[in-house]
Amino acid sequence: MSKELFGTDGIRGVPGTPPLDDRTLYAVGRSLGKYLLEREQHPRVLIGMDTRESGPHISRQIAAGLADEGIEFESAGVITTPGIACLVRLEKFSAGIVLSASHNPYHDNGVKLFAGSGMKFPDEVEEKLEAEILRYPERTHAGNPEYAALPKLDEDYLEYLRSRAIPGANLAGVNLVLDCANGAAFALAPALFRSLGAEVITINDQPDGRNINTNCGSLHPEGLQRMVLKTRASLGVAFDGDADRAMFVSASGRVVDGDGVLLAAARYLKSTGGLRGGKIVGTSMANLGLERALAGEGLPLTRVPVGDRYVLEEMLRSGCNLGGEQSGHIIFLDDATTGDGLLTALKIACIVALRGPLDDLVLGLKVFPQTIINIPVRSKPPLDSLPGVSRVLNEGTAALAESGRIVLRYSGTEPKARVMVEAEHESDVKRWAEALANEIREAIGS
């Protein structure tokens, strides 16, 4: 069954309008509360948020729904998405709620739900919750509960992260530049690395409720590149708004995305006997260059649909402990159940301290030219059911053969189709991407 509210990463929208209007948010709290009460007598829920100005209001609406179901809840205040996933598991909460729209601008927000395991609820549970939310009548409650964030939770999360540092890695000689995206990592990231002895410079660490992700963070590494080169840092790390992803800049100024991180981590884990499952799990967006570099290490790449939940599902199914996405969501399954930008940054910093510069760790990774075109659409029929799109897709796939790939998909959070083409030659990338984008615009463009 297709979902109306939940996308690949929770419920997204513009605060004050459906699905982030007060009625729906209150219904989210009531519906989650009812679901939890069916499974245990005294459920507890942990709520956290990034730095968007709409977060506190959204939190109060959901908390009101939980309270009216008699659910006990606590607030972690501003914290990363993976911080909630971690704390839910460590502190034995029944569920976790994160208010964030990840890398989106401040005027968007979202609701992400985690089970007590620290993993996102499976599709069938989201479908059950969604049906209950959509049935819910207009809200009727006395008011919004007052509550304060528990500062102890930040330190509990940081202590857990410190415990996951690679033994023997000394960060005292590592000079880091951290781009905190004016988001949830603005205090946690520098605190983590300074506590481990690293020399830390921070940029974009002054959130004002509206500057989250604005020309900074993982989608805009240019400023980080300049600062790494200016300060002659060992490594640069850029987080997104809720810090579930991390992108890197090497000492030479090279941007290293999630594909490069997977290669560096795979090589290290294989060399230490710590790699399980005999393969790496990526998504349809992973670059061909990664696939070929891993093949050179004797490691196959298994691709799954875009979304870290699907990466995790395959990792659990096949017994792998390393997987992730090109966008910087990396799952170290021995340490966490979700992509965690701070954990990823910690692992890479440790590997750099042990094995040398990041440039050397990704040696041999040839990144194939790739482009992604986003096309606003008015509907989402199967893309291969559109005659013009199907025709061009078949032609492009045949022409590229083994030297390239085409991936067509819809965004899970926005009314957009995405065309991804990669090939050995830039001219082929441009030709087939534009041809497919034009066919999609003509058929269903908004």
Query: What does the pLDDT look like over 273-329, one tens digit per residue?
Result: 999 999 999 998 899 999 999 999 999 999 999 888 899 999 999 999 999 999 999
**Topology alike, domains 6-151 and 172-361:** yes
pLDDT of res. 411: 86
Pairing mode of beta strands 330-332, 370-376? unpaired
Listed residue (167, 84, 109) closest to 337, CA to CA: 84
The DSSP H or E segment spanning 95 is strand 95-99
Domain boundaries, the chain: 6-151, 172-361, 370-444
Rounded to the nearest integer, the mean pLDDT of the chain is: 94
Confidence category of residue 140, pLDDT binned at 50, 70, 90: low
Q: Has this prediction a pTM greater than 0.85?
A: yes
pLDDT over 90 at 138, yes or no: no
pLDDT in tens, 392-438: 999 999 999 988 999 999 987 788 999 999 999 999 999 999 999 99
pLDDT over 90 at 142, yes or no: no
CATH of domain 6-151: 3.40.120.10
**Tokens representing residue 235 in the block:** 């490594």
pLDDT in tens, 248-281: 999 999 999 999 999 999 999 999 999 999 999 9
The one-letter amino acid at 234: S
Q: Report, as an integer, the average pLDDT of 348-373.
A: 96
Residues 6+ positions from 301 with CB-CB distance below 8 Å: 279, 280, 281, 282, 286, 290, 291, 294, 295
The SS3 call for residue 145 is coil
pLDDT of res. 141: 61
pLDDT of res. 137: 75
Q: Any idea which architecture 172-361 has in CATH?
A: 3-Layer(aba) Sandwich (3.40)
CATH of domain 370-444: 3.30.310.50
Q: Are 153 and 88 in contact (CB under 8 A)?
A: no
The region, left, alpha or beta by phi > 0 then psi within -120 to 50, assigned to residue 109 is beta
pLDDT in tens, 105-128: 999 999 999 999 999 998 899 999
pLDDT in tens, 321-355: 999 999 999 999 999 999 999 999 999 999 999 99
- Give me the active site residues, please: 102
